[in-house]
Amino acid sequence: MIIQSVRFARLSVPLHTPFKTALRTVTHIDDLVLIIDTRCGRRGYGSAPSTPVITGDTHKSILSVIEQVLQHQLIGQHIQDINRLCDDLAAAVVGNYSAKAACEIALYDLWSQSLGVPLYQALGGHQSELKTDVTISVDSIDKMLSDCDRALSNGFDVLKIKIGNELEQDIKRVQAIAAHVDSKASLRLDVNQGWDAKQSVRALQAIESQGIVLELVEQPVPAHDIDGLCYISERVQSKIMADESAFSAKQVLTLLARGAVDIINIKLMKSGGLSRAIRIGEVAATYDCPCMIGCMLEGSIAVSAAAHLAAAKTRQISLIDLDGPALGQYDPIQGGTRFSGPVISLNQTAGLGIAAIDGLIELADGVWQ
C-alpha cells in the first residue's frame, strides 16, 4: 500500500454549550482534517484542532507544516513501514506536534486497514468499549450545577470540573458541586495552570478539609513549574496529574524521577501522535504510574484514534477523558467509533472504520479560510 497524495479539509460542529476554561472560551469543535490517499484506493483520515494557548499550533500553521514539510516524508512511501514513517515525521521538523499527530492518525488508520483489523487490534488490544468522563466548564456556580445535572441525566458518573480563574470562587465551586452531586459521581479537577503552588495547596487543603475526595487534580500550576508540582504533591492528599508539563517521554521521565506527580495525561496533540504517546505510556509504566488518555476540544476522528490507543494499552492507560465528541451537537462521522453519553464503542471494521464524513469542506489549494 503506497501513499499517493495528501489532501486537506475543514470540519466544524457546534457545541451544546460554550466550552470555558481558565485559558479560553470556544463555541465550536473546529478541526483541520487530513486525508491520505493510496494508489490502491484506500483512504486514511487524521485531524487536529487549533490550540495556540496549549500547543502553539493553529489550523494555518498545522496545514502549512504538513504541506511544506511533512507530506514530503510520506508520498511514495509504503504504509507497512509505519515505524520508520513515524520516526521520519518526528525528525522532519521541531515541535509542530498537532501536525505530526494528524499525519500519524491517518497513517495508523491506513496501516491497520492494510492488516484488515480495527486499529486497537492492530496495536495488540482486545477491549472494544471504554467509559469516559465529561467536562463541566468553568462558569457561575448555578450554571455549573445545572451542567452537572445534565451530565448525570446523560449517564455520566465521572465529572471533570474546569476551574482556575478565581481562587476563592474556585473553592466555592468545588464545594458546591461536591455537595450537589454527593455520591452520584466522582470528581476530577482541571485547573489549566490557573494557580501558583501556594494557592494550589491552600485551595486543595480547604477542599480536602471538608471531606471532599477528589479523584485527581490536573495541572494546577504553569507547565514549567516542576518545583511547584513537587511542592503541591508533598502537601496535599489529592493525586496530582501533569498535562501541559508532559508533552514528551523525556519530560515525563523528569516528572516521575522527581516524584512531582502521581498521574500523566497523554494527549496525541501534545505527544505528536500515537507512536510517541505509546513511548510516554511505556516510561510511565516503569514507575508504575497510571496514565489518562485525554484530548483537546477535538472531533471524533482524532478522539477515535486516542480511544483505540487506550483500548490497546489498558495496563498503561486506566483513566479516560475523551468527551470531545460528546460535547458537540452531533457527530458528522459515518461508521467508525460511536460516542453515546459516557460509552465509547470502538468499530469492528478495519482501521478507524470511517465510511464518510458529513459536512466536510475540502480546502482549495490547501488554504485555510
Binding-site residues sit at 24, 135, 160, 190, 218, 243, 295, 297, 321, 323
With 0-12 / 13-18 / 19 or more C-beta atoms within 10 angstroms meaning exposed / middle / buried, residue 244 is buried
Residue written as grid cell 487490534: 121
d(CA 113, CA 91): 25
Does 162 qualify as catalytic in the annotation? yes
d(CA 1, CA 114): 7
Task: Tell me which amino acid residue 241 is.
Answer: M
Does 267 qualify as catalytic in the annotation? yes
d(CA 111, CA 2): 11
The cell for 173 is 465551586
What residue numbers does the annotated binding site for Mg(2+) cover? 190, 218, 243
What residue numbers does the annotated binding site for substrate cover? 24, 135, 160, 295, 297, 321, 323
d(CA 285, CA 277): 12
d(CA 274, CA 269): 9
Helix pair angle (167-181, 197-208), 10° resolution: 30
- Report the DSSP pairing between strands 3-20 and 25-38: antiparallel
d(CA 59, CA 32): 6
d(CA 66, CA 344): 30
The cell for 181 is 452531586
d(CA 273, CA 90): 9
Q: Which of 100, 172, 239, 267 is catalytic?
A: 267
Hey, CA dihedral for 250, 256, 260, 262, is it positive or negative?
positive
Q: Which of 100, 131, 143, 162 is catalytic?
A: 162
| Gyration radius of the chain's alpha carbons | 20
Residue written as grid cell 518545583: 227
CA dihedral angle for residue 277, residue 279, residue 283, residue 285, rounded to 10 degrees? 70
Strand partners, 5: 37
Instruction: Find the distance separating the first CA and the last CA of the chain, reported in whole Å.
Output: 32
Residue numbers annotated as active site: 162, 267
